[in-house]
Amino acid sequence: MVDLLEYAVRGIPTGCVFALLAVGLVLTYKTSGVFNLAFAAQAYTSAAVFYVLRKEQEWPLFWSAFIAIVIVGPALGLLLERVLFRHLRGAGSLAKMVTSLGLLIAIPEVVKLFFGSDAKSNPPPLWYVRRTDEWLWPQGSKFVFDAGQVTTILSTLVVVLGLTVLFRYTNLGLRMRAVVESSRLAELNGVNAERVSMASWMLSSMLAGLAGVLVAPLFASLNPIDLFTLLVAALAATVVGGLSSIPLTFIGAIGLGMLQAVLAGSLPTNSVLATGLRPGLPFLVLFALLIFRPGLRSNSEMADPLATVDPPLPVPVAVSRPRWMSISSRTVGVVATMFGLLVSWFVLDGFWLAIVISGVVLGVIMLSLTVVTGIGGMLSLAQASLAAIGAFTTAQVVTATGLPVLVAMLIGAAVAAACGALLAIPVVRLDGVYLALGTLAFALMFESILVPLSWVSGGSVPLAVPRPVIGPWDLADDRYFLLFAALCLTVIALAVIRVRQGTTGRFLQAIQSSPTAANSIGISGGRSRIIAFTLAAGIAGFGGGLLASFAGRANYQASFPYVVGLVWVALVISAGARSIQAAVFSGIMFFLLPATLNRVFSWPENYLEAHQQAPEWMQNLLGLVQPNWAVPVSFILFGIGAFTYAKHPEGIIEAQTNSSVTAVLLWTERRKAKVDATSSMDTPQVSA
Amino acid sequence: MSPTADSTEQPTEQPAPLLQASGISKRFAGLMALADVSIQVEAGETVAVIGPNGAGKSTLFNCLSGVLRADRGTVTFDGQRLESLSPTQRSRLGIARTFQRIELFGGMTVRDHLMVADRARSGRGGLWSDLFRSSKPTEEEHARCQAVLDLLGLDEVQDRSADSLSLGKGRLVELGRALMCEPKLLFLDEPSSGLDRNETEEMSLALETVQREHGTAVVLIEHDVPMVQRLATRIYVLDYGSLIASGNTQEVLQDEVVRAAYLGVAT
Ligand SMILES: Nc1ncnc2c1ncn2[C@@H]1O[C@H](COP(=O)(O)OP(=O)(O)OP(=O)(O)O)[C@@H](O)[C@H]1O
Ligand SMILES: [Mg+2]
């Protein structure tokens, strides 16, 4: 019993960090409707500023902390609110979340461009006080907090105190609380929602910055992914508070920290439970809370008379095009594909060929997003994990049974589909943002609990997956593999088109545009969505197996971390969630853009090497450009792409196509009108 | 087509009504939207529910069609208890409805609206046939669809996207979509609101035809008194969530209390 208490107390500092992040999330969610995943990136930014000032510039502790937390944190929040989220007030919560996803991807890369992308190891600690046993209570006490933990607890106490004072005694705070507790009513009562949302963005960004600086020393090096994982854990606390109660969120956060510590201490070490459950616990809790907290399910009956004030999700509408146009655009597509294949076959060297193949294979996985998000209307953040399930299964089946790889890939797809169905059954009852969070929780559970297990991933050394041999063709030759991958992509794309145009696609479209009406004619939302989710999981699983076979190994860290999956989602959504071209395009872009940019950014270096006599100003100027900008710049572009979703939910490619179709139609109509006008001069007639 | 087509002859002994709702109550926070309301509908008949704005008419429809769950009360339809069934399940039993605030599927053509409803009813088509067979409509499906298009005069706009239609046409599409479910009971929430004279006439005619040919029972919420007089044989009057009168159309419309509560407000 005493032991448990001891463990629980040890969890308090972690709980405090969860609390700081969680309270920020609740504040911005309630005041501006943004579920801001980018707090992780903002925390990273503050931590990086603190790192640079304190460790590299060796500033005094106070000023480094002050700049990083009190200046940079709120300033970044203010910037995001002014430049981005302010203009999204009318957008749906999903669009806002996708925007924050873009920021999550882009911001850390911007930071890396500024401060260098080399690993920032051993982040400096933020503390003033010493270990508890040196000043607070006697040595030998069971409850020992080190200096960092004491600082965390004290800062959190200060924040709690500050928030209490703010919410109780200040005008702004009262209005903030009004908005947090019932945003619409507060707005109706004349609270200036914009100022409130601005203030809460600054406040919550500062809390995120504080959390970032506080936890950074716990990791060996500064890394946005670690912070994001922490943020998702903090999400569990926000769900405890029902996304609106700040005190409950605090309690949930501290409780979560304690529970985690108790588990860590009391479970037998080295057992599966200890290694898997402890890091996975917050995600399990988040998942369970989402599923079992009925209040969060928006499919429940509308108790709020103002509930319909939120505009529904925009349904992507394709401009209907005449037959000749779709035939000609299809022809162009086929010709372009053929041309691409020919170029790849005859012209490309091994490096670029590998890039193209990876892109084509990723295109298959992207098509799974087309099915689940574009056709099914569900923002799934777990497709990378489902692809990984396919890859692992393929590898395990090949290793264990020696079956042909192709068969193993199909088994992988089936297993992924089964897992997808199991996940879908609880998850499709959620709506919009909650569904996205549920799948994200699943992805993290998978990563932290299942991936380390050797019967899943094969342990620390990735399992080998051979290339298929089909009849006389040994796909160990990359060019044959390319043809095979392109064939798979084509077949799956055709299947996806059939589903989109078929009964399943129509039912899903009906459910998205009016769930009540769809139910009233006997279409069950749950069933159709489970089907879409399962199909998508199967496609992702197949793509995962294919990717593993191409790479030669089912390597989770290299191909399928959940964060990579987030980038895929941002990419495919901004290109066009419903369109096949967009899926293929974004699959190829994911690999092609960084590789191309690398060549572009290497050019100055090579040029200077070749031209030693170049004038000095040119040397200085060109010397600025570095090849390792390629990856950050690509990711920044991918992230920025996601911002367009709020404006063009149908995607950039689809929007482009639609506007050019409209232009062509207008042009043909005008020409027809001209011809009509000239002909009607000869024979005067009243035309309709 | 429908089994209840012979509605011309009334059997002598009274069979169980098609829909029997008793003691329906629904409360929204402090507001009693429905208090102990009972209505019954015989197979093939048309009844109207009238009442001033906010009387609870739409709420009654929502409770009967399953969109909302009533706090209390029982609903029996065609010999089956409905309370625990979802809207989808109720629809499969033969209840269809339209909405006061029109609910169309954005981006779908008029024909697709009907086709989707037909597929949902027949259960034809699914992932398997999408992938490996054809999901194209069959001859019969085309015929069923065409029949409804002709009945409602939607033939010319069948390839137009539903959100480009006028409100009147939109209401007709909603009615068509409901009819494709081949319902035994049809709930219409203010079918004539937003319609001009011609369209109202078209709507009334279509309803009469449907009733004659398929023996569908209709419950309609309607403010348009001539339309109510023309279509409904019986009326229920709601005010502040309670039933204040019910009975034969002409008698109820003459009733003093009803005139005070309803007609006074409406005009
Ligand atoms: N989902 C809801 N939540 C809270 N109150 C509601 C809800 N739906 C309806 N109400 C309230 O219940 C009462 C009855 O509403 P209802 O829509 O049933 O009226 P109605 O008779 O259909 O009126 P109208 O002629 O305007 O359509 C109204 O006061 C309305 O504000
Ligand atoms: Mg109404």
**B62 close to ligand 1 (CB < 6 Angstrom):** no
| Domain ranges within chain B, ordered by starting residue | 1-94+183-267, 107-180
Question: Alpha-carbon distance A109 to A535, whole Å?
Answer: 34
| Domain ranges within chain A, ordered by starting residue | 2-115+146-292, 340-596
Using the mean position of ligand 1's atoms as its centre, give its distance from the Cα of residue B71 in Å.
15
Using the mean position of ligand 2's atoms as its centre, give its distance from the Cα of residue A328 in Å.
49
Nearest residue on chain A to B133, judged by CA atoms? A498
pLDDT beyond 70 at A189? no
Ligand nearest to the backbone CA of B223: 1
Q: Does A624 touch chain B (CB under 8 A)?
A: no
Q: What is the pLDDT of residues B26-84, one digit of tens each?
A: 998 888 889 999 999 998 899 999 988 888 999 999 999 999 989 999 999 988 898 88
The domain at B1-94+183-267 falls in which architecture?
A: 3-Layer(aba) Sandwich (3.40)
Q: Does A531 touch chain B (CB under 8 A)?
A: yes
- The enclosing H or E element of A624 equals helix A616-624
Q: Does A441 touch chain B (CB under 8 A)?
A: no
pLDDT beyond 80 at B261? no
Q: Does A506 touch chain B (CB under 8 A)?
A: yes
Among B140, B149, B152, residue whose Cα is nearest residue B109:
B149
3-state secondary structure of A279: helix
Nearest residue on chain B to A315, judged by CA atoms? B106
Query: Phi and psi at residue B41, in whole multiples of 5°?
Result: -130, 125
Q: Does B157 touch chain A (CB under 8 A)?
A: no
Contacts of B96 by beta carbon, 8 Å cutoff, 6+ apart: A520, A521, B178, B179, B181, B183, B185, B186, B187
- The enclosing H or E element of B247 equals strand B242-248
**B242 close to ligand 1 (CB < 6 Angstrom):** no
3-state secondary structure of A420: helix
**B167 close to ligand 1 (CB < 6 Angstrom):** no
Among B197, B195, B111, residue whose Cα is nearest residue B156:
B111
Most confident of the ranges A372-376, A403-407, A541-545 = A541-545
Where is pLDDT greater, at A362 or B14? A362
Q: Does A311 touch chain B (CB under 8 A)?
A: no
Using the mean position of ligand 1's atoms as its centre, give its distance from the Cα of residue A313 in Å.
24
Q: Which of B108, B120, B163 sits opposite A523 (nearest CB)?
A: B120
- Residue whose entry in the numeric block shows the structure tokens 């873009």: A102
Q: Which atom of ligand 1 is nearest to the CA of A303?
A: 3
Pocket test for ligand 1, best of B25, B27, B31, B238 (most atoms within 8 A of CB): B31
Q: Choosing among A319, A503, A524, A535, which should be mutated to test the B contact, i.e. which has the most B CBs within 10 A?
A: A503
Where is pLDDT greater, at A493 or A660? A493
Question: Alpha-carbon distance A77 to A80, whole Å?
Answer: 5
- Residue whose entry in the numeric block shows the structure tokens 């069948």: B158
Supply A77's token pair.
């929040």
CATH of the structural domain A2-115+146-292, one choice from 3.30.420, 2.60.40, 1.10.3470, 2.40.50: 1.10.3470
What's the distance, Cα to Cα, between the start and end of chain B in Å? 42
| A143 pLDDT tier (thresholds 50, 70, 90) | low
Q: What is the pLDDT of residues A63-120, one digit of tens each?
A: 999 999 999 999 999 999 988 888 887 777 778 888 899 999 999 999 988 887 777 8
Long-range contacts of A306-315 (CB under 8 A, 24+ apart): A306/A184, A306/A185, A306/A188, A309/A184, A310/A92, A310/A93, A311/A90, A311/A92, A312/A92, A312/A513, A313/A92, A313/A94, A313/A95, A313/A377, A313/A432, A313/A512, A313/A649, A314/A92, A314/A649, A315/A509, A315/A512, A315/A513, A315/B106, A315/B107
Q: ipTM score here?
A: 0.89
Question: Alpha-carbon distance B235 to B220, whole Å?
Answer: 9
Tell me the chain A residues in contact with residue B127 when contact means C-beta distances shorter than 8 Å.
499, 504, 531, 535
| B9 pLDDT tier (thresholds 50, 70, 90) | very low
Among A33, A344, A78, residue whose Cα is nearest residue A209:
A78
Contact between chains at B106 and A317 (C-beta distance less than 8 A): yes
Contact between chains at A516 and B124 (C-beta distance less than 8 A): no
Pocket test for ligand 1, best of B27, B59, B63, B64 (most atoms within 8 A of CB): B59
Q: Does A377 touch chain B (CB under 8 A)?
A: no
Q: What is the pLDDT of residues A367-389, one digit of tens each?
A: 999 999 989 989 999 999 999 99
**B28 close to ligand 1 (CB < 6 Angstrom):** yes
Residues around ion ligand 2, judged by CB within 5 A, are B 58, 100
- Residue whose entry in the numeric block shows the structure tokens 């692992």: A392
Q: Which of B29, B88, B108 sits opposite A522 (nearest CB)?
A: B88
Average predicted confidence (pLDDT) for chain B:
85
Q: How far is CA B127 from CA A7, A19, A425, A491, A504, in A?
A: 52, 45, 17, 16, 6
Largest CA-CA distance found in chain B, in angstroms, rounded:
65
Q: Does B99 touch chain A (CB under 8 A)?
A: yes
pLDDT of residue B253: 80
Among A304, A91, A29, A96, residue whose Cα is nearest residue A188:
A304
pLDDT of residue A141: 61
Nearest residue on chain A to B181, judged by CA atoms? A521
pLDDT of residue A529: 92
Give the A:B interface size as CB pairs under 8 Å.
115
Residue A224 has, within 13 A of its CA and on its CB side, a CA count of 22
Q: Which atom of ligand 1 is nearest to the CA of B52?
A: 25
Q: What is the pLDDT of residues A557-574, one digit of tens each?
A: 888 998 899 999 999 989
3-state secondary structure of B20: strand
Contact between chains at A506 and B112 (C-beta distance less than 8 A): yes
Among B88, B220, B104, residue whose Cα is nearest residue B171:
B104
Q: Does A307 touch chain B (CB under 8 A)?
A: no
Q: Does A492 touch chain B (CB under 8 A)?
A: no
Among A655, A641, A652, A654, residue whose Cα is nearest residue A569:
A641
Q: Which atom of ligand 1 is nearest to the CA of B59?
A: 18
Question: Alpha-carbon distance A629 to A112, whole Å?
Answer: 9
Q: Does B182 touch chain A (CB under 8 A)?
A: no
Q: Which of B28, B103, B180 sits opposite A516 (nearest CB)?
A: B103
From atom 19 of ligand 1, which residue's Cα is the shortest distance away?
B54
Question: Alpha-carbon distance A434 to A428, whole Å?
Answer: 10
Nearest residue on chain B to A526, judged by CA atoms? B88
Angle at A375 between CA A371 and CA A378, to 5 degrees: 85
Tell me the chain A residues in contact with residue B120 when contact means C-beta distances shorter than 8 Å.
507, 521-523
Contacts of B17 by beta carbon, 8 Å cutoff, 6+ apart: B40, B41, B42, B43
From atom 2 of ligand 1, which residue's Cα is the shortest distance away?
A305
Contact between chains at A506 and B119 (C-beta distance less than 8 A): yes
| A181 pLDDT tier (thresholds 50, 70, 90) | low
Average pLDDT over residues B175-204: 90
Pocket test for ligand 1, best of B28, B37, B98, B223 (most atoms within 8 A of CB): B28
Q: Which atom of ligand 1 is nearest to the CA of B190?
A: 27
Question: Alpha-carbon distance B96 to B77, whole Å?
Answer: 13
- Supply the Cα-derived Rg of chain A in whole angstroms: 27
Contacts of A75 by beta carbon, 8 Å cutoff, 6+ apart: none
3-state secondary structure of A14: helix
Predicted TM-score (pTM) of the model is 0.88
Contact between chains at A509 and B105 (C-beta distance less than 8 A): yes
Average predicted confidence (pLDDT) for chain A:
84
Q: What is the pLDDT of residues A619-636, one digit of tens each?
A: 888 878 888 888 889 999
Q: What is the pLDDT of residues A276-335, one digit of tens each?
A: 666 788 888 888 888 887 666 543 333 333 334 344 444 444 556 677 777 887 888 888
Using the mean position of ligand 2's atoms as its centre, give its distance from the Cα of residue A193 in Å.
32
Tell me the chain B residues in contact with residue A504 when contact means C-beta distances shorter than 8 Å.
125-127, 130
**B49 close to ligand 1 (CB < 6 Angstrom):** no
Report whether A26 contacts A88 (CB < 8 A).
Answer: no
Nearest residue on chain B to A300, judged by CA atoms? B68
Report whether A567 contacts A451 (CB < 8 A).
Answer: no
Angle at A492 between CA A490 and CA A498, to 5 degrees: 105
pLDDT of residue A177: 72
Using the mean position of ligand 2's atoms as its centre, give its distance from the Cα of residue B99 in Å.
9
pLDDT of residue B5: 44
From atom 25 of ligand 1, which residue's Cα is the shortest distance away?
B53
Where is pLDDT greater, at B59 or B194? B59
From atom 3 of ligand 1, which residue's Cα is the shortest distance away?
A305
From atom 12 of ligand 1, which residue's Cα is the shortest distance away?
B33
